[in-house]
Structure 1
Amino acid sequence: MLERLRAARANEDGFTLIELLIVVVILGVLAGVVVFAVQAFNGEGQAAACETDWKSVQTANEAFYAKTGDYALVMKDLTDKGYLKNAPAAKSYTIGLGAGGVVTASGACTH
């Protein structure tokens, strides 16, 4: 009986604990690399979104000026009159209007 157990145990195929630990470490390193790569893409995406929002508000404000003869002083003027569908809203930056048609950006995006 004991001989059969030893023979069966000798024929078992499988992974050792060391092999499993090596695989887990490799997966952890790969996950870390992916996280940092995705964060870099996210930062670039925020900058591109801010630039696009800034240009949209600038264009809407120029259209508002062409129609009314004055620049909008608050974003609500542009949205209420249909020059912008929605005011830009992001957690990492803000875009606003200043005197003389100046469009400002602050936060993670400075234009």
Structure 2
Amino acid sequence: MKNEKGFTLIEMLIVLLVISVLMIITIPNLTKNNGTIRDKGCEALVITAQAQAEAYSIENGAYPSNLSDLVDGQYLKQTTCPDGGVLGYDSDSGEVSAP
């Protein structure tokens, strides 16, 4: 017989088994933490929107009347959280809140 190099069927099955075990371990962890990821995304958006409202007030001398002013002025790209909730806004104090 020739000295051929390559993977045997057993080696390939072992690799598939290892990949399958890794997927069985990681996929449930990802789906379990999906809600936490969305909550953190909303918190980050609130902090960003609050900072942009402050920047708007510094540049224009007053807080924006609503969040759409921040979007129109290209201070923000969106006012909705990853979970679909819309940010709240108080124009008197410039306070941005989570839904």
TM-score higher than 0.5: yes
Deviations 1:20-65 (A, max 9, x none): xxxxxxxxxx96x944x33321011111101110111001100001
Identity %: 24
Q: 2:68 aligns with which of 70, 76, 82?
A: 76
| 1:1-111 alignment runs, 5 A limit | 34-35=27-28, 37-84=29-76, 86-89=77-80, 90-98=82-90, 99-106=92-99
Count of residues paired in the alignment: 76
> Gaps (5+ residues) in structure 2?
1-22
Q: State how far apart, in whole Å, the 1-side matches of 2:68 and 2:79 are.
A: 11
TM-score by length of 2: 0.62
> Gaps (5+ residues) in structure 1?
1-29, 107-111
Alignment RMSD:
2.4
Q: 1:71: how far off?
A: 0.8
